[in-house]
Structure 1
């Protein structure tokens, strides 16, 4: 993020582009200051980011920066930009990054190297995305089901077309509606979306407002099913975490949570609670 003055001083000939170019609907963007005020933006500009001491232009990346209408003490650069640079060209940037981190954080080179290695190897435990309805209100007639198309968030991997959908729990706009939970499949590879079944079991039509949050989708590693009539229901593996029936939790397995700070009685109660909640996905 940069402000108007910084942009005018260093990029006087660069035009500010509308936010709709990168976020679709400008009304979706809400950035709050520490005092709770909403930060206004003029638009965005594309800037090339490099590291001090790095003379290889091929290692720089282009990043969209928001242009704030309010004054900022200095430009703000997200950690995700540094992460992107490290993961793209790690073997060429390690020495430069280690030197910079040592100076910036006052840490020895060994710790700086560990930090770089961690960024290179770290991956999110669960890849998921939130689903919202489109830009138009949706009318769902009484006693009918509407298949609502929701665009897949751009950061979601579409390599596997099957995802697990979980409805939003605390959205009052869905109080009278029945949002289907389960496996969904990506449609239209060029601009992927999923169709979520939303049922209206009332005796009156219900309007689903534009941009309503319906729930979230999670990447699925594999679906395990069995033809045996006595076998548990099909289970879904989400990033190697298996959702199992209530009576199938091995007593030897517990989520990797540190309970060393609790006494024996407290640990027993927490372990029982964790086993009782084993059907939750992690």
Structure 2
């Protein structure tokens, strides 16, 4: 809160020095434009959530006080305070807590449920983002691609989003089992299963044990949709499922004549984006279309000067038959 708000609403409170909280340490706070916040000290405030909680015991909260009137014109209550009141230690039932949150923040029941779900989500980073198989063993057929439903563990803030599945670098998978990177849609509920194509390149069946770690999830900033024509031909892994882009198949990707290179243009305005997109499309052949696009520059010529003129390979000299032994 700022000093003006404190004097108006909490005139009997006393601003205490920060040294009582930090000792000899220095507290540095900045706003969104990186301007430093001038702190005067802190005050101890009794906090309750909602009007109906007036009968409950208040929570004593230390709140920082700033001398800048433009900082925290309305007091900012930290997430840890809301978590303390509505957490597992609360004596209210789940329905009462949802009703209190709705009244306090003037939000809908659905939004209140989402807020409480985020608050009650485990804060431990152990296992968050990991992808593993379920409680059953899975058999992968020889030279086949199998769509396996794997379990994803993420925080509530990632529910319903697209994340990048990165295969595990540790040798947790049997030899010959291949999983490639790809986007997966995280379920909207706390935990769920997503389909992932797993290829078995061996000539024999392979069994995945329970809770086998197959990789982890990473956030993505932008996902570009590539207009790639896929043609399947030849002999390769036999897929018993209809997995269109499963790893290990013999699908051939044909590079289109014109395409849009995936260049981030979010920092440009609309006119600059239009001009840049046109330029990128005209010069798209200067970019690699995929990992198999080697590129060709026929106009590029190099002159290499060697210090040793001895040819690397000499012409084969046949041996006459009379001299053979």
| Fold similarity call, TM over 0.5 | no
Decide which structure has greater helix share: 1
Q: TM-score, normalised by structure 2?
A: 0.38
Structure number with larger C-alpha Rg: 2
Give the TM-score normalised by the residue count of structure 1.
0.43
